[in-house]
Structures are given as C-alpha cells and as structure tokens.
C-alpha cells in the first residue's frame, strides 16, 4: 500500500525537483548566479521492521549545475552523486542483514524553463542506482517531465504536466500531474515543492520556515553475483513529515535544515524477473538532514 500512496504523491510533486530551492517572494530577489554546488547529509534513526529487527539509513552526497540563457528561456545542466548506507539491526529475516551496506546514485539532468504569465518547464533526468561495487550501466533509469502553469491571480498559480518514468523494476509509467501554488500573502504559501509544503516567510524576506510532507523513492540494482537476489532490485520507499528552516547565511551561501519523522517506510527486494521476494514496512522513526548551496 505504501508504494501506491508514495507513487501518487511522487508523481504529483516530481516537477518540484527541478526547482532550485523555494520560489521567490512576490517582491522578487536579485538574479541568481549561473553556477551552483550543493552538498547534503541526512539520516533516519533505526526503525522497527514489521517482521522483526530494525533498519537505519545515512546518506550524503552533492551536485553541481550551470544555467545559461537562450532566446526562448533558460537551460540548466546538472550532475550529482549520493551514497546511502543501510544498517540492519538484529533482523529476524537474514535477507535484510545480507542487504546491509552502501548504495550509490549518479545522475545527470537537463532543465528548460521559460518564465512568464505562462511558465513552461521541461526536465530530462538520467540516473544510475546500484550497490557499491556493481556495474553502473546495469542500474540505469530515467524520467522526463513537461508542463505549464499559469498565474491565475496574485495568489493562485495552477498548471499541469506529463511525467514519463522508466525504472528498474516495472514497466514504463506515463501520468498527468497537477501543479499548484497558493499564496495567502507575501508571508504564507502552500505549494507542491519537494512534496506538499506550507511555507512561512517572516516579513516576506529571504528566510523561511516550512512544514512538509515529502516523498522519497529509490531503487538500487544488485550485482549479478549478489547472494540474495542476483541481478535483482533493492527498493526503499518512504514518506517524511518535516519541519525546518531555509535561508541565506552569507553571500552566495544558502542553508536548509529539517527534522521530523519517516512516517512510513517500506523495503522491497525483487529478483531479476521483477518478482517480489520480500517486503517489509517499518514503524515511524526520527529523520533529519541539512543541505548547503553555494552559488557563484
């Protein structure tokens, strides 16, 4: 069930992953520099598995991007790398203990943005996700998104897009998705931004506080000589409830920190034929993270 819920939330917010931080307040802000580098660290405390034992996760990584203007809009090239470490604590199912270890994600993406009363967005992302030491070529997946949104009024922006998702363990998925942002005033806004996010900007300034329901979904290709599922897929789905702060701390430096809970998690192991060998949900567990963006 969590996979179906997470899929709905995920496709409804995928366009937000193309954004570089929160949208600007109505008063505007200085133009952002074209180049940026981001680094992040996050983790989830040990969460009890429903079939016994516990699982925790620690992740770190970084990305870089460069944006330049064209006669019809802006283009941004980006690339990133992240490593996640899963730790099993006395699981009753030996399979989860065997999956303990490091998993990597490499990505490259291209974003097109044409702002205006109608804002047009197109995003293509190519990613490889695999267990450390495996063949990156065997863990390829991709998604594409195209959409448009219209500023209906000073408070409301609505739109729609089409998402195409090509993943490791299921057939291609093509879905329409909604786009939404509602501003009560310069200080308060509700948007599909890294999930469903309620944001407060004191005085309409550059600093903001937020609460969010944030989906995460990652699938990792296992090596052909894996002991549990040769050539299979290890998937991690979760929905976080987060509260945090974001804002500039120095010229060209922006921080974002959050704390909350992984409200729902599910671990799934599939074989090379996409058949589910084992799945387990977890109890809620503490989650936190911090991100730093350097623009120049």
Domain limits, the chain: 2-295
At which residue do the structure tokens 């290890």 appear? 234
At which residue do the structure tokens 């999956």 appear? 99
Looking at residue 22, its pLDDT comes to: 39
Q: Chain-centre distance of CA 115, in angstroms?
A: 23
Looking at residue 94, its pLDDT comes to: 81
Segment 17-30 shows an average pLDDT of: 41
Short-list 115, 175, 116, CA closest to 144: 175
**pLDDT band per the 50, 70, 90 thresholds, residue 27:** very low
Q: Chain-centre distance of CA 130, in angstroms?
A: 17
28 vs 252, higher pLDDT: 252
In this model, does residue 279 exceed pLDDT 70?
A: yes
**pLDDT band per the 50, 70, 90 thresholds, residue 144:** very high
In this model, does residue 31 exceed pLDDT 50?
A: yes
Cβ(106)–Cβ(81) below 8 Å:
yes
288 vs 225, higher pLDDT: 288
Residue range 62-77, pLDDT digits in tens: 999 999 999 999 999 9
Angle 179-182-183 from CA coordinates, rounded to 5°: 145
**pLDDT band per the 50, 70, 90 thresholds, residue 168:** low
């Amino acid at each position: 069930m969590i996979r179906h819920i997470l899929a709905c939330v995920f496709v409804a917010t995928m366009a937000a992953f193309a954004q570089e931080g929160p949208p600007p307040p109505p008063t505007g802000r200085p133009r952002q520099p074209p180049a940026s580098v981001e680094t992040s660290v996050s983790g989830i405390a040990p969460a009890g598995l429903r079939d016994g034992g516990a699982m925790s996760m620690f992740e770190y990584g970084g990305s870089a991007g460069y944006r330049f203007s064209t006669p019809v809009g802006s283009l941004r090239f980006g690339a990133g790398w992240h490593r996640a470490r899963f730790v099993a604590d006395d699981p009753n199912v030996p399979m989860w203990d065997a999956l303990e270890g490091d998993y990597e994600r490499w990505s490259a993406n291209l974003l097109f943005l044409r702002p205006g009363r109608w804002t047009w967005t197109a995003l293509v992302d190519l990613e490889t996700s695999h267990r450390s030491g495996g063949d990156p070529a065997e863990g390829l997946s991709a998604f594409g998104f195209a959409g448009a949104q219209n500023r209906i009024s000073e408070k409301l922006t609505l739109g729609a897009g089409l998402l195409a998702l090509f993943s490791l363990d299921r057939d291609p998925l093509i879905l329409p998705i909604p786009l939404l942002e509602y501003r009560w005033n310069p200080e308060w806004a509700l948007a599909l931004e890294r999930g469903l996010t309620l944001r407060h900007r004191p005085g309409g300034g550059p600093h903001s506080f937020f609460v969010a329901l944030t989906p995460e979904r990652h699938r990792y290709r296992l090596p052909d000589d894996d002991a549990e599922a040769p050539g299979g897929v290890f998937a991690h789905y979760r929905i976080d409830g987060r509260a945090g702060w974001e804002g500039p701390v120095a010229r060209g430096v922006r921080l974002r920190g959050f704390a909350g809970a992984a409200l729902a998690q599910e671990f799934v192991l599939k074989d090379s034929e996409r058949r589910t060998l084992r799945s387990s949900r977890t109890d809620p567990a503490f989650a936190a993270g911090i991100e730093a963006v350097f623009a120049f």
